[in-house]
Chains A and B, each alone.
Chain A
């Protein structure tokens, strides 16, 4: 069994699976049940001046039978008074001293407000703080959440204010509702953040009811944008984690969040630089017990690879993530159709013929049976046929040797610019 413990900027937990700040961490009752089920840590539902919520708060997209492919909410931070939450945090920490309890915080962008809440929360023994600069609705209209999280100067200033008084590690939770998340991540680092976490939810409108013309969800016939999360956002979150992980000025640990539904997703985030992960939608969809499969799956994976500790995989894929200009233009793959496995549905043929490079040919053998073949010379290796093929193993993408050495776009442009400016020495 591998060592699953993590240490995120000094916050220790028995495994990398934390519940994200959201309904699953609303109360002591819930967080204690989660710890009993096996979760390594919990970021408490965001604390601040207690708010008022609407009725009808969530909506989800089901896709081809997969329920909750994407999830949307218009819920705000906690609606319970701070002293009630603090009492429950204190009791929970006493019962589970080795589990991580992080308090998520959101107050107005005023120094005294941040000082007050940090002191009160740290007094009950939390292991760390997470500053919620990400909530995209309701709080943002009051100058909090993503409204301040979208302005690097405000991120830096508020982080500084918290660091003036905080005794525990400070995680800054970033909003994805920004063009370049590394700008706010860097601002958090400049403010002294001990770690960053991402992503919070993405601005979204889930749908419009075709009969009533109401928004989905609606509150008495009116709607407002919500925050999108769940499996659909994973690629967006993973890219943001990776962009921060490979950024030279961002050198703090990352807590990865967004669409993580199983141990595989968690491993991907960790390989791309996350020290641990946080999960909300998957727990809301399936309950706390999904963590059992996550722990078991992660253990098997690490054992299978002969890796002794989960912390050994952190960031291992980061050097493989670069800019497009550094990719090898002379690397080639082509599609190969395995006729033994193919069920002749022709989806690949139609995809390539209609929307790619017209290089799958329909042929028939001696007995009149149809089969498909790829013209390798014209195949650009786009992957589309393999993506649309419903049968595992029917299409393989194979590497073709290239007699030309590797050449990136950046190398190509450098040499072309050199001949344009200097005219190459032709006597060499």
Chain B
């Protein structure tokens, strides 16, 4: 899988939860990338993704900024 295909695959997984109304609840960065925890607005369902691709890690952080603008 090329880097770009890997990006698309990880982005799709992120988008899947975002489209269902999930929000990013927490991010844990580590040697293998980032573990991103999503939570449903109802607060009863959480989902976890391991995001390793560099562009996908940019992608979820851009979504996080959109979701929770700091100082803006």
CB distance from A229 to the nearest CB of B (A): 39
Residue contact A412 to B2, C-beta cutoff 8 Å: no
Partner of B3, one of A357, A404, A405: A357
| Residue contact A419 to B24, C-beta cutoff 8 Å | yes
Tell me the bound Cα distance from A420 to B65 in angstroms: 14
Q: Mark B44-72, 1 if CB is under 8 A from A, else 0.
A: 00000000000000110110111110110
Give CA–CA (A372, B47) in the complex, Å.
Answer: 43
Partner of B24, one of A329, A378, A405, A424: A424
By the criterion CB–CB under 8 Å, are B25 and A419 in contact?
yes
Cβ of A414: which chain B residues have Cβ within 8 Å of it? Answer: 70-71
CB-CB contacts of A325-356 with B at 8 A, as 1s and 0s? Answer: 00001100000000000000000000000000
B: number of interface residues (CB 8 Å):
24
Task: Find the A residue at minimum CB distance from B3.
Answer: A378
Known contacts being A405-B62, A416-B29, is A424 close to B68, with CB within 8 Å? yes
Q: Which residues of B contact A411 (CB under 8 A)?
A: 65, 70
Question: Do B70 and A418 touch across chains, with their CB atoms under 8 A apart?
Answer: yes
Q: Is A248 part of the binding interface, using a Cβ–Cβ cutoff of 8 Å?
A: no
Residues of B within 8 Å of A357, CB to CB, are 3
Among candidates B23, B28, B39, B65, residue contacting A415 with C-beta atoms closer than 8 Å: B65
Q: How does the 8 Å CB contact mask read for A313-331 relative to B, with 1 for contact and 0 for none?
A: 0000000000000000110
| Complex contact A415–B61 (CB within 8 A) | yes
A405 in contact with B65 given A330-B58, A377-B4, A426-B39 (CB within 8 Å)? yes
- How far, in angstroms, from A419 to B25 measured CA to CA in the complex? 7
> Bound state CA distance, A405 and B58, in angstroms?
11
Question: Smallest Cβ distance from B11 to chain A, in angstroms?
Answer: 11
A residues near B, CB below 8 A?
Answer: 329-330, 357, 375, 377-378, 404-405, 407, 411-412, 414-416, 418-420, 423-424, 426-428
Q: Which residues of B contact A (CB under 8 A)?
A: 2-4, 23-29, 39, 41, 43, 58-59, 61-62, 64-68, 70-71
- 22 A-B pairs (CB sep. < 8 Å): A330-B62, A357-B3, A375-B4, A377-B2, A404-B58, A404-B59, A404-B62, A405-B65, A411-B65, A412-B58, A412-B61, A412-B65, A416-B27, A416-B64, A418-B68, A419-B68, A423-B26, A424-B25, A426-B23, A426-B39, A426-B41, A427-B41
- A sample of 10 more A-B contacts (CB under 8 A), given A419-B24, A420-B26, is A404-B58, A407-B58, A407-B61, A412-B61, A414-B71, A415-B65, A416-B29, A418-B68, A419-B68, A426-B23
